[in-house]
Amino acid sequence: MRALAAVDGPAREPLAGSGFWEAIRATPAALDDPGRAGRLAAVVEEIGARHGALDLDFGAWHGDWTPWNMAWHRGVLRLWDWERFERRVPLGFDLVHYRLQERTRRPGPSPYARRPGDAPDVLAPLGLSAAAAEATLDLYLLALCCRYQRAGTGPRGEAVRAQADGLLDLLAEHTAQPIGGRP
């Protein structure tokens, strides 16, 4: 994951000045539902207020690195399904995605039903501070929500609309809490 993140050189910059953040901020205006767009815009604004000044490491991510999109063959890791590949996202997106997707295979509620509380532990192998890990988790969930919200527009988007709205509900609930005020 580190090698992939460094594919075009890692960059460190404040979230608020990043191209990643500009793309996130543009998403609400691209939605065809004013209610969803307004709720998403409020979440984007709050996450920006919380983490915008934070310097983060940015790099590439596969976009769907999961146990079922990879295999070891003759000592070489093979990855497939590259359609979600992106450059210049916060370092750690692949690791968070992998861990949460692993949890979807376990019995019980979806790991996306509530905000995971273990971001610093999950992202420790990448050397992220606790603040950067919490921001990375928020930004990963927000990026996934934006992806699903865009995919959920129009008549063909119904298949992902429930997931999109579930993530939006999760983020709205989280951002309504004071910083550090999770139950």
Q: What CATH number corresponds to the domain at position 107?
A: 3.90.1200
How many angstroms from the chain centroid is the CA of residue 160? Answer: 16
pLDDT of residue 109: 84
Q: Is residue 164 part of a domain?
A: yes
Q: What is the pLDDT of residue 182?
A: 46
Does any domain span residue 86?
yes
How is residue 155 written in tokens? 């008549």
- Summarised one tens digit per residue, pLDDT across range 120-170 is 999 999 999 999 999 999 999 999 999 999 999 877 888 889 999 999 999
- Residue 180's pLDDT is what? 59
State the total domains in the chain: 1
Q: Which residue has the higher pLDDT, 31 or 109?
A: 31
Residue 60 domain-assigned (yes or no): yes
Average pLDDT for the chain: 92
Report if residue 181 sits inside a domain: no
Domain region containing 96 = 2-176
* pTM for the structure as a whole: 0.92
Q: Is residue 13 part of a domain?
A: yes
- Quickly state the pLDDT bin for 10 (edges 50, 70, 90): confident
183 inside domain = no
- Give the pLDDT confidence score for residue 181 in this predicted structure: 53
β-strand 86-90 against 55-61: which pairing, if any?
Answer: antiparallel
**Closest among 84, 60, 64 to 11, alpha carbons compared:** 60
| 49: Cβ contacts below 8 Å, ≥ 6 apart | none
Residues composing the chain = 183
Instruction: Identify whether the C-beta of residue 85 lies closer than 8 Å to the C-beta of residue 60.
Output: yes
Assigned domain for 182 exists: no
Per-residue pLDDT at 41 exceeds 70: yes
Helices (H) and strands (E) in the chain, counts: 7, 5
User: Which tokens hold the place of 85?
Assistant: 């590949």
CA-CA distance, 73 to 115, in Å (whole number)? 34
pLDDT digits (tens, 9 = 90+) for 73-128: 999 999 999 999 999 999 999 999 999 999 888 888 888 888 998 999 999 999 99
28 found inside a domain: yes
pLDDT over 70, % of the chain: 97
